[in-house]
Amino acid sequence: MIQNRRVVALIPARGGSKSIPLKNIKMMNGRPLLAWTIETALQTKEIDRVIVSTDHEQIARAARQYGAEVMIRPDRFAQDDSLPIDVIRYCMEQLQAEKEAADIIVYLEPTCPLRKPEDISGCLALLADPRNGFNTVATFKKADLHPYRAWKLVGDKPGMFMDGAVPWLPRQQLSDAYQLNGAVYALTLESISGSGISVLSDRCGAVVMPGSRSVDIDDEIDFLLAELLMQRGDSHG
């Protein structure tokens, strides 16, 4: 709870990963990948409930084992093209039907196992401060590739992705660029009341996380990197 507002953590974990089969329960340093996010959510003092949304019984069992509640989602929200906002809206409708009074949701992808409780708390503090006027907050990291250095191909001909961009400028002459790292999305019920497809609103705040805590696991290389950083303790930096 923060400023007398209940907070529910929602962890989406479907079973249909193509890049790594059953990625969300693949063992990482002795625990299923999913367990690291559950543990971080449970350690975050502002969070009142931790719920895993899944379509897969093995994932559901692992989630319960590590202390989370489970909400089984319909197949229509567990496809490759299912949108995060639809999963969030469905889960909140179910919670409202059971008279859950929370009006803040923290959406935590299990593929970002290196986040810390302070990353979540930082997002909630920004969101709850009425002086900011935010109804969504997300975590970002320094961009892996500056947009001025992105190219597109038209046939065999390369061109700048952004009109007028000069890719040859030294890094020191480029303004800082950031990208979503997928670790934390904090949002109010108000922000998801419409029919848009974005998790973020035009009243969005940002928390910047270090790259060492921003690994988002999509393939085996990402998995190995996250595991190594966790073993070395570099994710604390």
CATH of the domain at 75: 3.90.550.10
- Is 149 inside a domain boundary? no
Cβ atoms of 193 and 103 within 8 Å: the answer is no
Give the pLDDT confidence of 153-198 residue by residue, as tens digits: 999 999 999 998 988 989 888 889 999 999 999 999 999 988 889 9
Domain count, the chain: 1
Reduce the DSSP state of residue 110 to 3 states and report it. coil
Residue 237 has pLDDT above 60, yes or no: no
User: What is the residue range of 232's domain?
Assistant: 7-138+181-236
- Is 175 inside a domain boundary? no
- Is 151 inside a domain boundary? no
Query: Residue 208: which residues within 8 A CB-CB, separation 6 or more?
Result: 139, 140, 141, 142, 178
- Is 170 inside a domain boundary? no
Give the pLDDT confidence of 82-100 residue by residue, as tens digits: 899 999 999 999 999 999 9
Give the pLDDT confidence of 116-144 residue by residue, as tens digits: 999 999 999 999 999 999 999 999 999 99
- Is 196 inside a domain boundary? yes
- Is 176 inside a domain boundary? no
Residue 129: what are its φ and ψ, rounded to 5°? -75, 110
Query: Residue 70: which residues within 8 A CB-CB, separation 6 or more?
Result: 51, 52, 54, 60, 63, 64
